[in-house]
């Protein structure tokens, strides 16, 4: 199951890096991660959130915030998780 969670964990590490450098995180990346999680079985989702709460509580807060959009976790988003990770490669590679 770890290999399934690796891209999601990588994205959280990227969020953590943004938070450290800029004091905020890209909301569209949080929405993309949530959208990606909606595709997984509940066991994987709970494992991810358990890891997030234990290991990255500062970032977990951003997954609890409501964006005032009723259906923000469902439907296609403009960028995929891979798009974010590839676009941030120089930033991500420095971690």
Dump pLDDT digits (tens) for 34-82: 988 999 999 999 999 999 999 999 999 888 866 555 444 444 455 565 6
Buried b (16+ CB within 10 A) or exposed e, 46-73: ebbeebbeeebeebeebbeeeeeeeeee
Dump pLDDT digits (tens) for 3-14: 888 888 888 988
């Amino acid at each position: 199951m770890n290999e399934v969670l690796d891209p999601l964990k990588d994205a959280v590490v990227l969020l953590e890096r943004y938070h450290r450098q800029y004091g905020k995180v890209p909301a569209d990346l949080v929405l993309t991660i949530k959208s990606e999680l909606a595709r997984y079985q509940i066991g994987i989702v709970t494992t991810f959130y358990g890891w997030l709460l234990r290991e990255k509580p500062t970032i977990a807060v951003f997954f609890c915030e409501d964006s005032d959009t009723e259906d923000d976790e469902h439907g296609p988003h403009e960028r995929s998780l891979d798009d974010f990770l590839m676009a941030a490669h120089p930033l991500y590679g420095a971690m």
